[in-house]
């Protein structure tokens, strides 16, 4: 483990290689699992405030689910997550040539909203557990991401490099520069 400011980072974040390979996994992280994407109360409110701009990008099943249950729901573990269609795929999933993608991100990329997508989605497969005094930053190894691990290994791109943008989104540039320094020390 490496400590930077008030974060404790698993060595896997430095050592594992990772680059999403959507052609291989088909966006399985948006449709697999037992609950939706973890979201914060603030993200839930932000998505709710933008939902009218997001709905045109959504499938009718997702819109129906949001209208019925709301953007965020409490899952079996008591966590706030995005709602699911048929207890399987995220309500915000849209398909592009058979690949699951995010309707929130589509609206963002088209300049309709200023929110990219929930941070937990942007950071996946990194998971952050917030404690009173620190954040624990861990790599979540799951089988559906094996193609991404293989792709990252071929390209020699560490997880923390692949996820630079969302890590900066969460912790800022100064923190990320410290992360780079730590990675360089680990390499020596």
3-state secondary structure of 180: helix
Give pTM, 2 decimals.
0.86
Rg over CA atoms, the chain: 17
Provide the pairing of β-strand 7-9 with 135-139. Answer: parallel
pLDDT band at 143 (very low <50, low <70, confident <90, very high): confident
Tokens describing residue 158: 């560490």
Asked if residue 84 has pLDDT above 70, the reply is: yes
> Any bridge partners for residue 158, and if so which?
17
Rounded distance, CA 52 to CA 70, Å?
13
Distances (CA, A) of 63 to 3, 8, 55, 117: 42, 38, 6, 17
Q: For 57-76, how does the pLDDT look when each residue is reduced to its tens digit (9 = 90+)? A: 999 999 999 999 999 999 88
- CB 93, CB 59: distance < 8 Å: yes
């Amino acid at each position: 483990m490496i400590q930077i400011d008030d974060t404790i980072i698993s060595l896997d974040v430095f050592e594992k290689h990772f680059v999403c390979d959507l052609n291989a996994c088909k966006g399985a992280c948006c449709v697999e699992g037992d609950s939706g994407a973890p979201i914060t109360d603030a993200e839930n409110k932000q998505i709710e405030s933008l939902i009218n701009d997001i709905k045109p990008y959504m499938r009718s099943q997702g819109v129906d689910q949001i209208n019925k249950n709301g953007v965020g729901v409490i899952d079996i573990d008591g966590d706030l997550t995005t709602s699911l269609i048929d207890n399987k795929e995220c309500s915000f999933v849209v398909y592009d040539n058979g690949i699951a993608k995010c309707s929130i991100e589509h609206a963002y990329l088209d300049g309709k909203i200023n929110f990219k997508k929930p941070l937990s989605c942007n950071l996946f497969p990194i998971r952050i557990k917030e404690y009173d005094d620190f954040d624990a930053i861990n790599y979540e190894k799951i089988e559906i991401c094996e193609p991404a691990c293989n792709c990252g290994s071929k390209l020699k791109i560490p997880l923390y490099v692949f996820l630079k943008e969302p890590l900066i989104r969460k912790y800022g540039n100064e923190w990320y520069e410290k992360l780079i320094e730590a990675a360089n020390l680990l390499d020596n």
